[in-house]
């Protein structure tokens, strides 16, 4: 159908910018609508490509093209033989940084250093301007970690929670966002390192002391002390990493044996 439009109409500005309705775009938009309205919940497996094609009266090619878009935007994730699932909304900044790392894995190490550098700033700023509630939250995180009953399996997670609490206390939405994203990336890229960090009791002890010092400085609103404590902590972590990972950055494709 849709023959050429009448010239007179095409000249009408109201109709000129219909960017040429591509079928695949229409499908993609429809799928996004279904996701937005909750008809397709995150984690849910959406109908097969063949079925979708039939449902929407388009070819499987168009469905695939639409899905390619959504995959590239990390809206969905497909597994051969498995199916295509709606993924939890992805972040633009995260995707940008992940791309950077994929382009050159050595960037990962730099990213870690940048993150560390920012945490020093965060500690100082949190000390200087955290609200009482935020200080209490940090303290609560600390106590959880200090609890002797706390299962070791939660240590890595608790650690992250602690640092994110500090991030919140900076009152900087950008920083909190950036830190969350960086944590996700680093976590994903070599999470096993993080776990390994807590393998030895003496390190655990060291880190706990570090954290206590940081929290104390923040509680006392002593910015410089918080910065110093965080720097010390990061030096400890870095030393542990070096010891653990040997020399350079861990190969991303390293076998997990």
Partner DNA sequence: GTTGGCAGTCTGGTCTTACCAAAATGCCAG
Partner DNA sequence: CTGGCATTTTGGTAAGACCAGACTGCCAAC
The site for DNA (CB under 7 A) is made up of 4, 20, 22-25, 46-51, 58-62, 64-65, 67, 78-84
Cβ-Cβ contacts under 8 Å for 58 (sequence gap 6 or more): 23, 27
Shortest Å distance, C-beta 142 to a copy of itself: 24
What are the tokens at 99?
A: 């791309």
Other CB atoms within 10 A of residue 104 CB:
9
Interaction residues for a copy of itself, span 80-119 (CB under 8 A) = 80, 92-93, 95-97, 99-100, 103-104, 106-107, 110-111, 113-114, 117-118
Strand partners, 85: 45, 77
How far apart (Å, rounded) are the C-alpha atoms in residues 227 and 218? 9
Size of the site for a copy of itself (CB under 8 A): 53
How far apart (Å, rounded) are the C-alpha atoms in residues 46 and 65? 15
Q: Answer whether 75's CB lies under 8 Å from 46's CB.
A: no
Helix or strand holding residue 79 (H, E): strand 76-79
**Contact flag: residue 206 with a copy of itself (CB under 8 A):** no
Name which position in 64, 140, 154, 236 contacts a copy of itself (CB under 8 A). 64
Shortest Å distance, C-beta 58 to a copy of itself: 15
Q: Could you list the residues that contact a copy of itself (CB under 8 A)?
A: 2, 5-6, 9, 14-15, 20, 24, 32, 36, 61, 64-65, 68-73, 79-80, 92-93, 95-97, 99-100, 103-104, 106-107, 110-111, 113-114, 117-118, 120-121, 125, 172-175, 177-178, 191-192, 253, 255-257
């Amino acid at each position: 159908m849709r023959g050429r439009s009448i010239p007179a109409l095409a000249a009408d500005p109201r109709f000129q910018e219909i960017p040429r309705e591509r079928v695949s775009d229409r499908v993609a938009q429809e799928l996004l609508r279904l996701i937005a309205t909750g008809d397709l919940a995150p984690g849910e497996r959406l109908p097969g490509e063949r079925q979708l094609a039939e449902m929407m009266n388009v070819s499987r090619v168009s469905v695939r093209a639409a899905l390619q878009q959504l995959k590239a935007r990390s809206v969905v994730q497909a597994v051969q033989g498995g199916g295509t699932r709606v993924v939890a909304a992805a972040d633009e900044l995260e995707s940008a940084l992940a791309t950077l790392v994929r382009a050159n894995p050595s960037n990962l190490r730099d990213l870690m250093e940048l993150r560390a550098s920012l945490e020093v700033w965060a500690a100082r700023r949190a000390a200087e301007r955290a609200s009482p509630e935020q200080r209490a939250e940090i303290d609560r995180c600390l106590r959880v970690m200090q609890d002797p009953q706390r299962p070791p399996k939660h240590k890595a997670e608790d650690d992250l929670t602690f640092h994110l609490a500090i991030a919140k206390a900076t009152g900087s939405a950008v920083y909190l966002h950036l830190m969350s994203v960086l944590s996700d990336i680093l976590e994903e890229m070599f999470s096993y390192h993080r776990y390994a960090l807590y393998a030895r009791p003496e390190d655990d002890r060291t880190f706990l002391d570090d954290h206590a010092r940081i929290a104390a400085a923040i509680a006392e609103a002593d910015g410089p002390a918080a910065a110093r404590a965080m720097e010390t902590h990061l030096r400890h972590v870095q030393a542990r990493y070096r010891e653990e990972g040997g020399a350079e950055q861990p190969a991303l494709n390293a076998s997990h044996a």
